[in-house]
Amino acid sequence: MNRTPDRPGPIRAVLFDVGGTLVHEASPGRAVTDLVARTRDGAVADLETLAHTYRLGAVTDTAVMGEEQVRRLLAPSGLDALLEVVVTSADVGVAKPDPRSLRCAMARLGLDPATVLYVGDRDLDAAAAAAAGAAFAPVGDGSPGRAVIRWLRANEGAFAAARALLGVPDRTAEEDARHLHDRLTKPPRSLGDLETLGARLAGIAGRAPPPLPFPAAVAVFAGDHGVVASGVTPWPQAVTAQMVVNFSRGGAAVNVLARAAGASVTVVDVGVAGPVPPAPGLIDRRVRPGTANLADGPAMTVDDARAAMDVGAEVAADLVAGGARALVTGDMGIGNTTPAAALVAAFTGLPAWRVTGRGTGIDDATLAIKIAVIDRALARGRPDEGPIEVAARLGGLEHAALCGFVVGGAAARVPVLIDGVIALSAVLTAAALAPRVVPFCIAGHRSTEPGADAALAHLGLTPLLQLRMRLGEGSGACLALPLVRAAALVLREMATFDEAGIGR
């Protein structure tokens, strides 16, 4: 994360200048009665999205209109309904760069200036923000929302920017897809859950029929775990680095299954303990060389967790920018089912024994050690902990990176196929930080790990496949890719009754 030392953050509210920022500037000398608010491109959609995460308001230096008049001008566009407060110079009696207008707005929101971002188009807006103790983002030539995203990416990191971009599925597109299914040459609902999946894809993309979720990209995030020292697995930690090399050479199960589904594989070293030689398809984004032992204390720092989440969000954005139209979660890390079970227990409230499985096939004695270790780690939790603190105390670097990856994919409005218990524990973390992420996630399969069942139930996700798998790597999610593609193809290529000339 790139938060600047003098800005404690995180940002909780965004205030906007009006003229030149949310709407185009009116010509000088124009009478108030003749004013019409011409909204800047993207402003309404931007604020609708930002309103899911931040409190929104406006501060303008107009000296001839009060809040009620400004709201009336903005009402036809819908901007009025998105702004919790509107403060004008006429209301306060001072013009920018005097900071009192901004302070008034912040006081009405009950917020510390250090948690407020002000977006404007002129130097006096920047001066007012500085005087009030708020951050400032210039709107520039883009939309006001893009100015917010640029600022977040530079100051709070890629995860915060992705979280701010998270919208909601398009319910109109979903309904259009359902209606289209009813007109296709088949009995109503005869394709069962495939029809539901097709409608979900339409909602994610915002149009029906949905675009093909192809090509798909798998990202395998790799990290090591200090908890291995507590005897939770018989496998040596060195296997993580060896498997990363195997992934890079295309020799692992996920490589084979991804090739079968026509998906690419990118391997990301986010926290492997040992050295890993450079290889094609391998990205070195190591935050630290493995976590500490969660049996004895926090697995990592909050900053480590945030940095790993940023890595995941950046990888998702890069893959989508490179042409991916569906993302698949992958993971590698010896011992990583222990932190996964700990995260599942923490976020679902279930006891460790209910959500802890045998991972690579451990015996009863090792399973007992694993449950005891998780119990000890859970017992150190505090009631005031936030989701990031929980992720840092219990999770792994690949779990945090997967959390960012899922949010990044959802922010880009592509379906994210979720693999087994490692990925599901990351989705639980993501959902605690950004609840709107869940509808963009498609559960690829039902892992035999008990924590997977608990996470699926908590998230309300129904897996597409049940093959008694527990490998991880992204293997089960890869196998579900053809089903997801088929759900889109049916809506895109199947004839309607009218097109086929078939009467009903």
CA 329/CA 430 separation, integer angstroms:
13
What is the reported pLDDT for 7?
41
Q: Name residue 56's amino acid.
A: L
**pLDDT mean by block of 10 residues, the chain; 504 residues:** 48 95 75 67 94 95 90 93 96 93 96 96 96 96 94 96 95 98 95 97 97 97 98 96 96 98 98 93 96 97 98 98 98 98 98 95 96 97 93 98 98 98 98 97 97 98 96 97 98 95 85
Q: Measure the CA dihedral 373/379/383/389, to 10°.
A: -30
List Cα–Cα distances, 35 to 24, 25, 41, 80, in angstroms.
Answer: 11, 10, 18, 16
Compute the C-alpha angle 336/342/346, nearest 5°.
145
CA 461/CA 287 separation, integer angstroms:
31
User: Is residue 473 annotated as part of the catalytic site, yes or no?
Assistant: yes
CA 214/CA 246 separation, integer angstroms:
25
- Which residues, 6+ apart, have CB-to-CB distance to 445 below 8 Å? 419, 420, 463, 464, 465, 466, 467, 469, 476, 477, 479, 480
Helix (H) or strand (E) holding 499: helix 497-500
Of 279, 249, 402, the closest CA to residue 339 belongs to 402
List Cα–Cα distances, 354 to 39, 294, 426, 450, in angstroms.
Answer: 54, 19, 18, 7
CA 330/CA 253 separation, integer angstroms:
11
CA 491/CA 54 separation, integer angstroms:
36
**Helix 337-348 / helix 397-411 crossing angle, nearest 10 deg:** 60
Map residue 184 onto helix, strand or coil. Answer: strand
Write out the two tokens for 344: 């599942």
What is the reported pLDDT for 31?
53
Instruction: Give Cα 252 to chain centroid, integer Å.
Output: 27
Q: Which of 174, 398, 449, 473 does the annotation list as catalytic?
A: 473
CA 464/CA 458 separation, integer angstroms:
17
Of 403, 490, 453, 503, the closest CA to residue 190 belongs to 490
B/e letters for 147-177, b = 16+ CB within 10 Å, e = fewer, are bbbbbbbebbbbbbbbbbbbbebbeebbebb
Residue 215: count of CB within 10 angstroms of its CB: 15
Map residue 465 onto helix, strand or coil. Answer: strand
Quick one: 358 exposed, middle or buried, by C-beta within 10 A (0-12, 13-18, 19+)? middle
- Can you give the pTM of this predicted structure? 0.94
What is the reported pLDDT for 24?
87
Of 177, 213, 207, 172, the closest CA to residue 195 belongs to 177
Map residue 332 onto helix, strand or coil. Answer: strand
Map residue 134 onto helix, strand or coil. Answer: coil
For the chain, domains (ranges, CATH) are 13-156 (3.40.50.1000), 171-209+490-500 (1.10.1610.10), 216-484 (3.40.50.10210)
